[in-house]
């Protein structure tokens, strides 16, 4: 099966609140607008989707906006 798109989820590390959820992401990069706040810690994870469905969510990666 050929990859069609990714779904990317970004959450606040402290609260677990959803900050960003982008579906139909094509390619390997994503530009994020001002939805993220300086000095906050976040985590993101991703799933890949094709005609057969979507994979399980990848292990989260953590980052901080400086």
Which residue ranges make up each domain of the chain? 5-64
pTM for the model stands at: 0.82
- Note the pLDDT of residue 1: 67
CATH architecture of 5-64: Sandwich (2.60)
User: What string of DSSP letters covers 31-66?
Assistant: ---TTS-TT-EEEEEEEEEETTEEPPPPPPEEEE--
**Cβ-contact 22, 7 below 8 angstroms:** yes
| Segment 10-35, tens digit of pLDDT | 999 999 999 999 999 998 888 887 67
Q: What average pLDDT does the segment 34-54 reach?
A: 91
Count the Cβ atoms, other than its own, within 10 Å of residue 10.
19
């Amino acid at each position: 099966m050929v990859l069609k798109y990714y779904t990317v989820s970004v959450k606040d590390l402290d609260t677990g609140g959803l900050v960003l959820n982008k579906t139909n992401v094509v390619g390997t990069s994503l530009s994020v607008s001002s939805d993220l706040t300086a000095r906050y810690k976040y985590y993101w994870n991703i799933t890949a989707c094709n005609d057969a469905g979507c994979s399980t969510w990848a292990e989260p990666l953590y980052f901080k906006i400086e």
